[in-house]
Structure 1
Amino acid sequence: MLQRALEDDVLVLTLNRPDKRNALNLELCRALWDALDTAGTGDGSVRAVVITGAGSTFCAGADLDGVYGDDFLEAHYGMLGAITTVPVPVIAAVNGPAIGGGTQLAAACDLRMATAAARFAVPTARNGLAVDPWTIRRLVHLVGGGHTRGLLLAAETMDLAAALTSGLVQREGDVTDAIALAHDLAGLAPLSLAYAKHVLNSPQLADDDPSLRAKFLACFASEDAAEADAARRERRRPVFRGR
């Protein structure tokens, strides 16, 4: 159901329900949530995460043939929240259609890479369902109000070209490209990445919020900052340890 592969310090999570077009059910949401919680333990073994889908679909959304009650909603939104709070970058490798919950899953990630087969849609108006306010605001933040209105009110579908133009997708590429990018990110300073991600995903916090200030100052006082300075003077690549 969920394949996990650790490639050095990059965790690759593959939704593996190709017969259901990788639709999200309770078990898959819980498995993703657990994997992301494990990645955020802070032991340094995972520096970046890639999420992709098996077969030709990234994720067809929620499995409407399964149980779709409070337990599913809790697991679904808990999993999306875990993506935004895990202190390492998460990349969506969108290898095909990302519909409904699939678009939510991709949008929750920090960066998105997609192939020409990618399609994004949130057709809640076609099935009588709804997405939570966080998802709507997240889409507005990523692609702007006009594109979000098209997705939600007109039930439009975005292809790769539109996703690239809107900013929903940062780069064209497949899962191999996404893993290569993840390895690049894994070589960057973990505290700096975690701080930037925290600010980007916490728009409700004021600029003078104590938690933001503490994380900001911690970067300057870190061993990694000293290592970067030493590496510049010694003309070598820094080796960051996240402390």
Structure 2
Amino acid sequence: MIELSWHGRAAVLTLDRPDKHNALTGELCERIRTSVASVGEARAIVLAGNGRSFCSGADLDEVYTAEFRDSLYRMLHAVTDAPVPVVAAVHGAAIGAGTQLAIAADFRVAGPAARFAVPTARIGLAVDPWTIRRLALLAGNGTARRMLLACDQVDADTALACGLADRPGGLDEALDWAAGMTDLAPLTVGYSKRVLNEVFEPDLADDVAKDLDAAFEACWASDDFAEGRLSRTEKRSPVFRGR
């Protein structure tokens, strides 16, 4: 489900479920997390996907489970906390958890077919406060609102224009960019990354964090959450009632 290869001193982690558009399962999340931790000699990491999609999101057979949610966020934070630069080569769809994986990286290279979306409101789910803040920091508040409140998709040109993507190109361009980073002083790069993460994404005040976490959990415990899950089983459109 994941391939590890090397491009010089850059480790390349490739999601390999092309028949499922690289949808994330709990097992795949754990493999990504452990792979990031295992490439200690790498000076940079590239995330890529086989097939037409970068990552189509969470596997719908698991997305509603607490176990998957825990595995997903452990993986995302492992990517963000990696001490080396991480480049996501987004050549196709990055939907839901796929967008989360892309923004967990430090940089995104977007191909012409790249598209980003966080359509959780369509299925009664919610992403955590960290995801919302990081998306807004990268893409801007307006783009984040369109993606989260209206479930709009963002194409490659829009992503590049707003800062959600950093450079145009495919896997080759991502590999070349990462290779250039491997020649830089690793202690300096690691220090700079840590400061950027801590300055722009500091821990929230205890009362704010508590309130936001409670609201997040309330979404997952709601009748709308249950309706989203049931409607998928019954193969119909959900009817949400805001409770």
Structure 1 length normalisation: TM-score? 0.80
2 CA distance for matches of 1:125 and 1:67?
A: 14
Q: Which residue of structure 1 aligns with residue 2 of structure 2?
A: 2
2 CA distance for matches of 1:150 and 1:130?
A: 15
Q: Which residue of structure 1 aligns with residue 18 of structure 2?
A: 18
Q: Which residue of structure 1 aligns with residue 56 of structure 2?
A: 60
CA deviation string 1:157-185 (max 9, x = no partner) = 00011000110101001101101111100
Look up the SS of the partner of 2:141 in the other structure.
Answer: helix
Give the alignment of 1:71-220 within 5 angstroms: 71-203=67-199, 205=202
Amino acid at match of 2:98: G
- How far is 1:7 from its partner? 2.5
CA deviation string 1:112-151 (max 9, x = no partner) = 0010000000001111111000000001111111111000
Look up the SS of the partner of 1:78 in the other structure.
Answer: helix
2 CA distance for matches of 1:188 and 1:156?
A: 38
Gaps of 5+ in 2: 204-243
RMSD between aligned alpha carbons?
1.3
- How far is 1:8 from its partner? 2.4
Look up the SS of the partner of 2:154 in the other structure.
Answer: strand
2 CA distance for matches of 1:202 and 1:62?
A: 28
- How far is 1:68 from its partner? 4.0
Amino acid at match of 2:170: D
For this pair of structures, how many residues does the alignment match?
A: 202
- How far is 1:205 from its partner? 4.9
1:67–1:155: structure 2 CA closer, same or farther, 3 Å change rule? closer
Look up the SS of the partner of 1:201 in the other structure.
Answer: helix
Q: Which residue of structure 2 aligns with residue 228 of structure 1?
A: none
1:3–1:133: structure 2 CA closer, same or farther, 3 Å change rule? same
In terms of Rg, which structure is larger?
A: 1
- How far is 1:66 from its partner? 3.3
Q: Which residue of structure 2 aligns with residue 37 of structure 1?
A: 37
Gaps of 5+ in 1: 207-243
- How far is 1:110 from its partner? 0.2
2 CA distance for matches of 1:122 and 1:109?
A: 16
Look up the SS of the partner of 2:158 in the other structure.
Answer: helix
CA deviation string 1:45-67 (max 9, x = no partner) = 20000001101100000001236
2 CA distance for matches of 1:15 and 1:173?
A: 18
Look up the SS of the partner of 1:91 in the other structure.
Answer: strand
2 CA distance for matches of 1:149 and 1:66?
A: 26
- How far is 1:4 from its partner? 0.6
Look up the SS of the partner of 1:113 in the other structure.
Answer: strand
- How far is 1:69 from its partner? 1.9
Amino acid at match of 2:116: F
